[in-house]
Amino acid sequence: MSDAFHGKVAVVTGGSAGIGRATARKIAEGGGTVYITGRDQGALTAAVADIPGDVIGVRADSRSADDLDRLFAEVGRCSGRLDVLVANTAAIAAAPLGSITEDVIRTVFDVNITGTIMTVQKALPLLADGGAVVLTGSMAAHKASRGQSVYAASKAGVRALARTWALELTPRGIRVNVVSPGPTETPGIAQLAATPEEREAFFTRMGTGTPMTRAGAAEEVAAVIAFVASDAASHVNGADYQVDGGYGQV
């Protein structure tokens, strides 16, 4: 896939860290122009400097309609079109039943559902016919984990969105798919643990729950996202690729 994205324009939301950053790197390495978003300007600037190729950082919050309008206005002005959209921004919060607050529900659903819907919807005028949309899901939508009911519900919603959009965008030849990571070492997951020692134990514990006995790497998930977004997956539509080391499969 060394030139899989040659001449293509992509947007990767949440592209300043973790799976988003690794995905942006894959697309840039494949010859694509990549716009990445993030809320932290410092992290965004660092990601742009770190990823070789044609990478543009745009500070944006997927919950903000104004930020999304500004993002896609810049894509339109600089590139004129969009071939690949990776809606990757996500929020996760641990909240067992009995301690779920309205703030937790609002934060998780605003990012994972409202943010995803508005990102894709606002990208539509720029998306080229025959383009690809990839939504980052989660194995939490398929396999229960204590304390993650709100997050799991939001990611089940992402899966439902992809199915419906795959049907709705078929007349334009735009494919919509989900890639669902299982236990994966990312900064977003790491923030669930308070100290470096707790994080190491946390990832080790996550890994032992998979047949491969280790947590995945962001780059492993990104490789699947890049495949699904490329023309190599031209007959893949409405699917959910589960990159989980067998966590939900056996």
For the chain, the 3-state helix, strand and coil shares in percent, each to the nearest 5, are 45, 20, 35
* C-beta neighbour count of 177 within 10 angstroms: 23
Q: Which residues contact 195 (CB under 8 A, 6 or more apart)?
A: none
Total Cβ atoms within 10 A of residue 212:
13
Sequence-distant (6+) residues with CB within 8 A of 22 are 218, 219, 221, 222
Phi, psi of 51 (to 5 degrees): -90, 120
Could you identify the residue written with the tokens 């592209």?
15
Q: How far apart are CA 40 and CA 201, in angstroms?
A: 27
Mark whether 151 is an active-site residue. Answer: yes
Question: Residues 35, 151, 241, 247: which is the catalytic one?
Answer: 151
Query: Which of 82, 34, 79 lies closest to 58, judged by CA?
Result: 34
Which is it for the CA torsion 130, 115, 165, 231, positive or negative? positive
Residues belonging to the active site: 151
